[in-house]
């Protein structure tokens, strides 16, 4: 059996390597890659005993646990999906509200009501307007529909914006906490 040498990672973990690994990189348990020195420098490192790898206690500043990272990324993806789905439902609901209103349609509706009144009802309506004024006009169904469309449009815009922010935050967190990619071969 050939001699094995200890190489220490920045996290404090010592890893036993063989002389055949000189000039390469090996992964540490913390996720970082350790550059193995060339053979001449490797021989100046302390020799490993029977244990292949020793691991110190994990410090508070260590990289986040991959299972925690995965849970955060999945939660962010779920929030994004639900926000975009809910925004789509709001847009669909908004498109189903029909708003038909024009001055001509309003005049036609008012004329229909007046045409159906008898003389006594017409006099009472005129007298009430003359003494009390027109007063506050009750909202028509088209006014209610227009307001509902506006509210649903604003809710959809805010929901979709929240979904976009959740997607961007999830992608940013995922990229920032991604483990380094494996490398092999000699370092140049």
**Nearby residues of 37 by Cβ (< 8 Å), 6 or more positions away:** 7, 22, 23, 45
What pLDDT shows up at residue 83? 94
Q: What confidence tens digit (pLDDT) does each residue in 74-131 have?
A: 999 999 999 999 999 999 999 888 877 677 877 888 888 888 999 999 899 888 888 8
Contacts of 103 (CB under 8 A, 6+ apart): none
End-to-end Cα distance, the chain:
29
Q: What does 71-129 look like in DSSP terms, one character per residue? A: HHHHHHHHHHHHHHHHHHHHHHHHHH------HHHHHHHHHHHHHT--HHHHHHHHHHH
Distance between CA 12 and CA 88 in Å, rounded? 50
Q: Per-residue pLDDT for 54 more than 50?
A: no
Q: Is the pTM of this model over 0.85?
A: no
Q: At what angle do helices 66-96 and 141-176 cross, to 10 degrees?
A: 160
Chain centroid offset of residue 9 CA: 34
Which residues are within 8 A (CB) of 101 and not within 5 positions of it... i.e. 6 or more apart? 140, 142, 143, 146
Q: Among residues 100, 101, 97, 105, which one has the least CA distance to residue 150?
A: 97
pLDDT of residue 153: 92
Q: Where are the domains of the chain?
A: 5-54, 66-176
**Which of the 8 DSSP states describes residue 20?**
G
């Amino acid at each position: 059996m050939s001699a094995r040498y200890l190489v220490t990672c920045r996290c404090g973990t010592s890893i036993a390597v063989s002389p055949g690994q000189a000039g390469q990189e090996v992964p540490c348990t913390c996720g970082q890659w350790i550059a193995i020195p060339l053979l001449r420098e490797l021989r100046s490192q302390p020799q490993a005993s029977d244990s292949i790898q020793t691991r110190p206690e994990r410090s508070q500043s260590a990289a986040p646990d991959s299972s925690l990272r995965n849970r955060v990324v999945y939660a962010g993806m779920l929030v994004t999906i639900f926000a975009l789905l809910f925004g789509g439902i709001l847009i669909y609901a908004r498109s189903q509200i029909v708003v038909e209103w024009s001055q001509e349609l309003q005049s036609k509706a008012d004329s229909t009501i007046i045409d159906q009144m008898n003389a006594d009802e017409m006099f009472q309506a005129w007298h009430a307007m003359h003494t009390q004024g027109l007063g506050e006009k009750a909202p028509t169904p088209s006014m209610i529909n227009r307001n509902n469309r506006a509210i649903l449009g604003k809710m959809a815009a805010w929901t979709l914006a929240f979904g976009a922010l959740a997607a961007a935050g999830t992608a940013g967190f995922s990229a920032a906490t991604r483990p380094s990619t494996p490398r092999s071969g000699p370092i140049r």
